[in-house]
Structures are given as structure tokens and as C-alpha cells.
């Protein structure tokens, strides 16, 4: 019992601060939409979280809104500018309060349908002076693509494709059923499974609340544990009197709650800690490509084969086919989604963080950008060229790095033959090395704080410690997770052995008294 108490105590003292941060940030992460109106000044965070040269996915893309008018969009919302990109005007009126509510994934404009924006929380249409929400027939629409094709407006969410026509004024949307992919095995990624278990999403809102409760328990255990550790030092200063007696009773009560709550919640705390450890490198790497059976009667057991898998959509006039980017590769349909989607046998690399650039670069050619770099891809031949080095891409195999030298977060064209790449960390630079992009205006910086949710994400993933630890920040999550497992296991056995010894002592006393 002394062994377990010793290691429980010292590992707790080392890890309590990080456990508290993880628990608090985890609760915030579980309620993004609810907390989307709360922002934080970027100056309160390390310098790497401040906008400089259009970094941090400030711009994801652009759309020509007629004439010389260009609209750029991304994490900063929507800003109107011209082809010279010298002056920018705020075009975010109408979005709900909070920077999270104007994070734009896609925009589309045409003289027929007008101007649309797809956001984290739905579809919006610009009505001359402000944006207004356009209802979609789904409860939580996370729009990833808005595409105008002929007289139809296509809206792709993470799980569904909807269409509205000109005859309805582009306001009444119906769902287009997307058949499964030809490689569908009825399974789901192990990473996705661990993700929804860790967050509680596997059982919807009820599951989230259970995980919230686990976070609250971690907080309670951390605070009561600190009280139990610090109380003796305070008692030494209180030689006698009423205050000493009250502190003793309080400390005893705190320890009782610590043991009772910890022992009852041990299984869910162990599960939550273990699953969280595998959601970040290095433990993420061995499970990234693994697939497992869907867990019955959970969110994963959806009849929709594309549940939470869609990421982008294009139509290629040359081949007459739709290209669908998903979390597991790029598929195509030659018959307007009447039969199974086929997967391209040769594809450019796309980071596990997802595709960020997916657009045409010429007849039968496409730009594919992600944190793995940016490539020009010709699906008909499989020919893939690295746009940075201008060399043909060769697959490095399983031993290759999942990230490229350039973490592409966005791309816009500044002329017919070239464009501007937006690296997540370093910001804008011209693809052809000429005509650098103008400096980000102070007005955009002032109007673009960081959301509470994003700040919590940086804390929960350990990236907040990168300025102090450099690349070693990646070890924060697995090491804190390992320490937490040790704390939980040693704490449980210290409690269980003490309880067992107490029962044995009481049993022995009863026998002696009887005799």
C-alpha cells in the first residue's frame, strides 16, 4: 500500500496541472456550437497564435464576384477586395457573433444564384447588405462545399449532398443519395472510433455529457488531491484551536470524496485517458490506417456509408464526372451518383489533417493541397507534379513523412498562370516566386480573434506548449496520458488495499470481542 501511495502522490504532483488543463479544455471542445460566440484576444496567447503574413489559415480560397471584385475567405471570415489585393472591406455582417461562426469553408457566386458561403454551422446567402441563413434538411450542417453547376446549387456537408434548383429560388434543398464506394468494406477507421469514444459523440449528446462528467471528476480529484497534500503543511502552523479542528474535518471529508468518486469512476477515467493518448502522435501513427467493425447501436453504426467522410466536391467538364474528396481518398462518379463511386487508383498525397485545396488547374488537371504540400494532378494518367519543386511526385512508401515541407492551408489565383499559397505557419508566398502578396491589414487582425474552442483545442492537443518545448511538444499528450494512467491505477489500489485492511481489522475485532 505504501508503494502505491508513494507513486500516486508524486505522479499526481507532476501531472495535476496538465490534467486540469486537459479536463477543462476537453469540456469546452465538446460544445463548439454552444460556445461559438465566445472569443479570446490573440495577444493573450503566445506569438505563434497571432496573424502575420496571412498565416493560421487566414485565407482558404477566393471567389470572383463579377468584374474586378474578389472575395477572400477562410478563418478571418469574408473580405471584399480587388484584383490588386491592396484594400479589404469587411463583408461579415449577418453572421452570428463569434469568429467561429464566420469560419468559411467554401464560397460560390453566379449571376443566376447569387453569393453563398458554407460555414462550420450551415449555409448562408448574401442578401445585398448582410448574410442570412439558408435552412438545410439536416440537424447540424457543417458545409464543406458550395458548388453551382448549371441551374443547380449543390451543397456538400460532411455527410450529405443537397441540391436546390433555380425554380425554387435556390431555397428549397433536397438530398441526393450518394451510393457507397466500390471499396466499401462496412468498417470504420480505428482512429475515428477512438475519437468518438474519447469525446462521447459515439452516443450523441448523452455520451458527450458522460464524458463531460468524466472531465468534471478529473477536476474534482485533482483539487481534492491537492487539498489532502497541502493540508498537513497548514496544520503544522495551527498548533491548536477551532481552526485546526475544522481543517482536519475538512481534509478528512475531502479525502473521503476523493476516494469515493475516484473508485466509482475508475473505468470511465481509464477509458477516456487511453483513447485520448492514441489521438495524437506518436501513438496515432500505428493506428492511422487501421479499420475496425462499426460498433452496433452507436453513432458510428449509421446506414450512411459516407457519414462524416465528405470533404470537397468538383465537377470536371472534360470527363463529365464528379470528383468527391473524402477523408479516405478521392472518388468519382461518371453517372451523376446513380451507381457506386469509384476510387482513383493513383492519387496525390493528402495529409491526415485533410484536404485544403481542391480546384481545377486546367482541362482534366487539378490542384490538391494539404499539410502534405500542393500538387498538380492529372487523374487520367495519374501524373502528379509537386508545385513547389516542379518535379514529379514519387510515393516514399510507408516510411515517408505524413507532412510536407509546406503545410498548405489555402490557395488563391493572382493571375492566369500562377497563384498564392498560404502556408499554415508562415503565411502567403507566390507560387512563381514573383509579386508577393500584400501585407495583412491591421483592420483584419483586429477583427479576427481566436475562438474559445480553438484556444481549448491548442491546450488539449499540447500545441500551446510548442513555444517552450519546440518539436518535443508532441510528447505532452502521451506522457501526460501515461502519468494519468499510473495515477489512476496506483490510486485505486492504494484505496482498495486500505479498504481491505480495514475490513480485515474490523473482522478481527469482532471475533475478539465475541470471545
Task: Walk me through the domains of the chain, giving residue ranges and CATH numbers.
Answer: 1-44+185-304+471-515 (no CATH), 306-413 (2.20.25)
Segment among 52-66, 407-421, 434-448, 478-492 with least mean pLDDT: 407-421
DSSP codes joined into one string, 256-270? HHHHHHHHHSHHHHH
Q: Which parts of 89-203 fold into alpha helices (H)?
A: 190-199
- Tell me the pTM: 0.91
The pLDDT of residue 398: 56
Q: For residues 473 and 243, which has the higher predicted lDDT (pLDDT)? A: 473
Taking the CB of residue 105, how many other CB atoms lie within 10 A of it?
A: 23
Q: Average pLDDT of 265-270? A: 97
Is-contact 170 153, C-beta < 8 A?
A: yes
Q: For residues 282 and 453, which has the higher predicted lDDT (pLDDT)? A: 453
The pLDDT of residue 205: 93
CA distance 90 to 172: 29
CA distance 231 to 204: 41
- Cβ-based burial of 341 (10 A; exposed 0-12, middle 13-18, buried ≥19): buried
Q: What is the pLDDT of residues 403-461, one digit of tens each?
A: 668 999 999 998 777 899 999 999 999 988 888 999 999 999 999 999 999 999 999 99
The pLDDT of residue 512: 31
Q: Which 8-state DSSP code applies to residue 437?
A: P
Would the pLDDT of 350 be above 60? yes
Segment among 46-60, 134-148, 222-236, 263-277 with least mean pLDDT: 222-236
Three cell numbers written together for 197? 469514444
CA distance 279 to 198: 9
Look at residue 205 and give its three-state secondary structure: helix
Instruction: Report the candidate in 164, 173, 261 with the shortest Cα–Cα distance to residue 217.
Output: 261
* Strand boundaries in 166-242, DSSP class E: 174-176, 187-189
Whether residue 282 has a cis bond before it, omega within 30° of 0 = yes
CA distance 317 to 148: 13
Would the pLDDT of 236 be above 80? no
Q: Average pLDDT of 354-364? A: 93
Q: What is the number of alpha carbons within 13 Å of residue 4 lying toward its C-beta?
A: 13
Amino acid at each position: 500500500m505504501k508503494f502505491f501511495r508513494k507513486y500516486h502522490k508524486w505522479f499526481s504532483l507532476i501531472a495535476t496541472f496538465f490534467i486540469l488543463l486537459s479536463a477543462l479544455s476537453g469540456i469546452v471542445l465538446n460544445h463548439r456550437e454552444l460556445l461559438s460566440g465566445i472569443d479570446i484576444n490573440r495577444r493573450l496567447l503566445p506569438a505563434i497564435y497571432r496573424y502575420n503574413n496571412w498565416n493560421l489559415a487566414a485565407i482558404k480560397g477566393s471567389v470572383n464576384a463579377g468584374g474586378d471584385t474578389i472575395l477572400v475567405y477562410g478563418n478571418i471570415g469574408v473580405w471584399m477586395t480587388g484584383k490588386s489585393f491592396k484594400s479589404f472591406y469587411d463583408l461579415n455582417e449577418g453572421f452570428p457573433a463569434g469568429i467561429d461562426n464566420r469560419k468559411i469553408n467554401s464560397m460560390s457566386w453566379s449571376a443566376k444564384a447569387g453569393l453563398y458561403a458554407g460555414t462550420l454551422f450551415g449555409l448562408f446567402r448574401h442578401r445585398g447588405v448582410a448574410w442570412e441563413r439558408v435552412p438545410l434538411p439536416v440537424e447540424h450542417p457543417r458545409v464543406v462545399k458550395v458548388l453551382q453547376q448549371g441551374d443547380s446549387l449543390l451543397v456538400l456537408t460532411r455527410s450529405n449532398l443537397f441540391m436546390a434548383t433555380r425554380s425554387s429560388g435556390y431555397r428549397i434543398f433536397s438530398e441526393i443519395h450518394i451510393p457507397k464506394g466500390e471499396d466499401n468494406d462496412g468498417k470504420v477507421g480505428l482512429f475515428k472510433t477512438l475519437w468518438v469514444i474519447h469525446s462521447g459523440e459515439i452516443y450523441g449528446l448523452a455520451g458527450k455529457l458522460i464524458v463531460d462528467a468524466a472531465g468534471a471528476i478529473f477536476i474534482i480529484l485533482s483539487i481534492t488531491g491537492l487539498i489532502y497534500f497541502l493540508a498537513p503543511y497548514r496544520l503544522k502552523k495551527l498548533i491548536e484551536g477551532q481552526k485546526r479542528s475544522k481543517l482536519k474535518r475538512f481534509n478528512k471529508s475531502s479525502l473521503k470524496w476523493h476516494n469515493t468518486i475516484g473508485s466509482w469512476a475508475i473505468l470511465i477515467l481509464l477509458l477516456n485517458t487511453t483513447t485520448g493518448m492514441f489521438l495524437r502522435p506518436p501513438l496515432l501513427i500505428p493506428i492511422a490506417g487501421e479499420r475496425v467493425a462499426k460498433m452496433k447501436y452507436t453513432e458510428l453504426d449509421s446506414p450512411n456509408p459516407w457519414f462524416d467522410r465528405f470533404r470537397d466536391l468538383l465537377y470536371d467538364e472534360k470527363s463529365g464526372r464528379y470528383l468527391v474528396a473524402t477523408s479516405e481518398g478521392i472518388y468519382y462518379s461518371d453517372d451523376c451518383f446513380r451507381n457506386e463511386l469509384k476510387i482513383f487508383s493513383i492519387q496525390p498525397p493528402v495529409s491526415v489533417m485533410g484536404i485544403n485545396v481542391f480546384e481545377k488547374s486546367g482541362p482534366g488537371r487539378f490542384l490538391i493541397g494539404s499539410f502534405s504540400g500542393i500538387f498538380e494532378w492529372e487523374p487520367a494518367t495519374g501524373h502528379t507534379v509537386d508545385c513547389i519543386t516542379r518535379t514529379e511526385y514519387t510515393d516514399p512508401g510507408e516510411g515517408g513523412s505524413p507532412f510536407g515541407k509546406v503545410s498548405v492551408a489555402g490557395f488563391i489565383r493572382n493571375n492566369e498562370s500562377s497563384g498564392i499559397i498560404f502556408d499554415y505557419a508562415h503565411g502567403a508566398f507566390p507560387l512563381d516566386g514573383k509579386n508577393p502578396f500584400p501585407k495583412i491589414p491591421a483592420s483584419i487582425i483586429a477583427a479576427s480573434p481566436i475562438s474559445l474552442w480553438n484556444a481549448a483545442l491548442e491546450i488539449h492537443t499540447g500545441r500551446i506548449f510548442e513555444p517552450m518545448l519546440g518539436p518535443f511538444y508532441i510528447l505532452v499528450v502521451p506522457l501526460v496520458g501515461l502519468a494519468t494512467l499510473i495515477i489512476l491505477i496506483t490510486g485505486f489500489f492504494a484505496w482498495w488495499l486500505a479498504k481491505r485492511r480495514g475490513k480485515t481489522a474490523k473482522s478481527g475485532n469482532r471475533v475478539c470481542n465475541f470471545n
